[in-house]
Amino acid sequence: MLSNYLKIAFRNLLRDSHFSLINISGLAIGMAATLLILQYVAFERSYDRFQDKADRIYRVKTERFEKGVLSTEWAGGPFAVGNHMKDAFPEVEEFVRVYMRSRQELEVNNTKFKIEKGAYASKAFFTLFSYPLVSGNAQTALAEPYTVVLSESLARRLFGNTNPLGQSIRVNRQYLVKVTGVYQDFPENTHLKTDYLISFDTFQRLVNPENNPDQNFDNAWNWDGCLTYLLVKEGTDPQKLEAKFPAFVAKEQPETVKGSFGVAFALQPLVDIHLYSNYMMEAGPNGDGVAVYILLGVALFIILIAWVNYINLATARAIRRAREVGVRKAVGSFRSQLIGQFLVESALLNFVSVLAACVIVAAGLPLFNAFTDQHLTYSLIGTSQFWLGLGIMFGVGTLLSGAYPAFVLSGFKPTQVLKAGISGGGQGTFLRKTLVVVQFSASIFLLVGTITVFRQVQYMRSQALGMDIDQTLVLSPPTNDSTRASRTKSFKETVLQQSAIKSVTVSSSIPGEKVDFNAGGIRLENAPETNGKQYRVIMMDYDFISSFGLKIIAGRNFNKDLGEQNAVVFNRTGIRQLGFRVPEEALGKKINFWGDILTIVGVVDDFHQQSLRDAYEPLVLRLDSGVNGSISLKVEASGSSKAVEAARQAWSEYFPNEPFEYVFLNEKYDQQYRADERFGQVFGFFTILAILVSCLGLLGLSSFVTAQRTKEIGIRKVLGASVSSVTALLAKDFLGLVIVAIFIASPIAFFLMNQWLDHFAFSIAMQWWMFAAAGLVTLVIALFTVSYQAIKAALMNPVKSLRSE
603 residue type, one letter: V
Closest CA to 457 of 609, 619, 291: 291
Tell me how many degrees the CA angle 87-90-95 measures, rounded to the nearest 5.
60
Cα 214 → chain centroid: 43
Neighbours of 10 (CB within 10 A): 12
Interval 55-85: pLDDT, tens = 999 999 999 887 777 878 889 989 999 999 9
pLDDT at position 585 is 95
Please answer whether residues 650 and 609 qualify as being in contact, where contact means their C-beta atoms are separated by less than 8 angstroms: no
Pair type for strands 501-507 and 567-571? unpaired
The H or E element spanning position 82 is helix 81-88
Closest CA to 445 of 61, 148, 756, 38: 756
Interval 410-441: pLDDT, tens = 666 665 555 555 554 445 577 778 878 888 89
Pair type for strands 533-540 and 619-623? parallel
pLDDT at position 804 is 54
Which parts of 373-423 fold into alpha helices (H)?
384-403, 414-420
Start-to-end CA distance of the chain, whole Å, equals: 32
pTM of the predicted protein model: 0.83
The stretches in the chain having pLDDT less than 50 are 257-259, 424-426
φ and ψ of 161, to 5 deg: -90, 0
375 residue type, one letter: H
Cα gap 483→88, rounded to integer Å: 45
Cα 217 → chain centroid: 35
Cα gap 494→393, rounded to integer Å: 67
**In a 3-state reduction of DSSP, which class is residue 594?**
coil
- Domain residue ranges of the chain, discontinuous segments joined by +: 55-276, 424-464+674-805, 477-660
The H or E element spanning position 337 is helix 335-372
Cα gap 202→435, rounded to integer Å: 66
Cα gap 794→710, rounded to integer Å: 9
Q: Who's near 393: CB < 8 A, 6+ residues apart?
A: 31, 34, 35, 303, 354
CA contacts within 13 A on the Cβ side of 590: 10
pLDDT at position 421 is 52
Cα 763 → chain centroid: 18
Cα gap 599→587, rounded to integer Å: 8
pLDDT at position 259 is 45
pLDDT at position 341 is 74
pLDDT at position 307 is 83
